[in-house]
Amino acid sequence: MPGNGSVLDRWLPFAYRSELIVIGIATHLGFNIVAAAAFRLAALSSSWITFLVWQVVGNLAGFVTVLALTVLLRYLPLSIAYPITTGLSVIGVQVIAASVLLHESLPLRVWLGTALIVSGILLVGGRI
């Protein structure tokens, strides 16, 4: 948490901490999308080699998401960081991975659920 007197907290001005939060959220989101798409491609694979390659890609991307969340937890409480990253990941995977990259159709109920998730993120973040 900020203010615990660590060398990092004294070294980084507040503006840089804010940038680290944005970078951490973006990194978490981007690599979560990669991981989900890779696991879907692994599931659709017709050979063991392709399956294993996509599994490795997905797991490495998942590891980066864990690192990004860990960085975020240095500057945000768990009760804020986790819902925001999880909610944005659901939206990113639905819209970018499923719809754009994999061309899966998303019914209206999925879009309505996505709107509810966005509302929840705004509530958790104190924007509503």
Which residues contact residue 24 at a Cβ distance below 8 angstroms, ignoring those fewer than 6 apart?
68, 69, 71, 72, 75
Write down the pTM of the prediction: 0.77
Residue closest to 40 by CA, chosen among 88, 93, 86, 87: 93
Q: Are 124 and 80 in contact (CB under 8 A)?
A: yes
Question: For 96, which DSSP code?
Answer: I
* DSSP result, 5-59: --HHHHHS-HHHHHHHHHHHHHHHHHHHHHHHHHHHHHHT-SSHHHHHHHHHHHH
Res 68 pLDDT > 90:
yes
pLDDT of residue 64: 97
How would you class 87 by CB atoms within 10 Å of its CB: exposed for 0-12, middle for 13-18, buried for 19 or more? buried
Chain-centroid distance, C-alpha 119: 17
pLDDT tens-digit readout, 104-121: 888 999 889 888 888 887
Q: What is the pLDDT of residue 86?
A: 87
Give the CA angle between residues 93, 96, 99 to the nearest 5°: 95
Average pLDDT score over the chain: 85
